[in-house]
Amino acid sequence: MSHSISTLLIRNLEDVFGENDPARRRAVVDEIFHEDAVFYDPNNGAYRGRDEIHRIAGVIKATHPDFRYQPIAPPEELGDAGRVRWVSGSPGKAPAYAGTDFIIARDGRIAALYLFFDKLP
């Protein structure tokens, strides 16, 4: 299934890195990531392939299971790339941190995901 870049960005934020249920997370990883996709984490390096992306998304979510990612601006697209700026934190509280996800898409799936941490707005 092919998805728009904006859809890929939001689904990754909410349904992969924001998902507590491992089975639902895995289904979305398989749907929106290429088999050979790479996730670049500024703190821990690169994670290659769906299995590693699924694993590290679960590890990250387990550190703050109540946090929600919330876009602070609509996703932006340019060619085969896109980005979305977001904040994360417990619902009803001030955001704990902020970031930008940047992706390269190929054939309607994520080929590469780059995470940048930002200053809180």
- 10-residue mean pLDDT profile of the chain (121 residues): values are 90 98 98 98 96 98 96 97 98 96 97 97 78
Q: Are the C-beta atoms of 86 and 99 separated by less than 8 Å? A: yes
Question: Quick one: pLDDT at residue 50?
Answer: 98
For residue 16, what is the DSSP state? I
The model's pTM is: 0.95
Question: Quick one: pLDDT at residue 1?
Answer: 62
Tens-digit pLDDT profile for residues 60-87: 999 999 999 999 999 999 999 999 999 9
DSSP helix, strand, coil percent of the chain (3-state; round to 5): 30, 40, 30
Q: Which domains does the chain have, with CATH numbers?
A: 5-118 (3.10.450.50)
Q: At what angle do helices 49-62 and 22-32 cross, to 10 degrees?
A: 140
